[in-house]
Amino acid sequence: MSAFAVRGLVKRYGGVSALSGCSLEIDASGIYGLIGPNGAGKTTLFDVVTGITQPDAGSVTIDGREVTGVAPHRLARLGLARTFQECRVFPEFTCLDNLMFAPRVAGNARGAHVEAMRLLELVNLARFADEPAATLSFGQRRLLELLGVFMLRPRILMLDEPAAGVNPALLEVLSAFIQRMYRERPCLFLVVEHNMEFIISLATEIVVMHEGRVLERGSPEAIQSNPRVMEAYLG
């Protein structure tokens, strides 16, 4: 039984097929990169899996349970969480309150304050705990958004271009944090990313999408030298 699987997903927008029978199964925890040229369907796949967008056909399963079209808040209770291309934090909230938001809504804030402060310390944001998130740089807000997702203790975590707009120094912090969280709480990471150097260094396996379906998957080394992948990127 796959921990995560999509089978035959189709999503059309008018005459354009964003997903064209996309299928992908992942059996175990790990850090998986999801790459592909613009328009390959990566974000649409995330939107369908996380219940934001309804597919025209196909299915999504978690641990063998079909969850196609299930609302995002219900999926969160099943351990599925994500970030977005556009950074989503509450700019008027303090950094600490941003991290405490989800535990308070879920009614399990006991002990969350300690964990929130620990996570802020890990990415060098503890000094901003009582400052509004609006005072952070864009890259720091990216980190804060990621911390908020980890406060949910997800089993499946989908990150949509976490490195976008992040400067090289913060990229090192981001990479180290993701790897540390994986060591602490081994789960399934699926990471959409255009920064090839970042994702190649981070992922244990790479999945390549092209024209709305999975084209190839394999080790970072195999994907880098795959002629079908190079053709998809170069056209």
Give the start-to-end residue ranges of the domains of the chain: 1-79+156-235, 88-152
Is residue 103 over pLDDT 90?
Answer: no
Higher pLDDT, 235 or 145: 145
How far is CA 82 from its chain centroid? 5
Q: What is the pLDDT of residue 234?
A: 64
Average pLDDT of the residues of the chain: 94
Q: What confidence tier does 213 reach under pLDDT thresholds 50, 70, 90?
A: very high
Coil, strand, or helix at residue 29?
coil
Please give the Cα distance from 76 to 116 (Å, whole number). 19
Report CA-CA distances (Å) from 27 to 39, 48, 140, 157: 26, 19, 33, 14
**Averaged pLDDT, 122-150:** 96
Q: What is the pLDDT of residue 235?
A: 58
Residues 6+ apart with CB under 8 A from 114: none
Is residue 5 over pLDDT 90?
Answer: yes
Thinking of the domain 1-79+156-235, which architecture would CATH place it in?
3-Layer(aba) Sandwich (3.40)
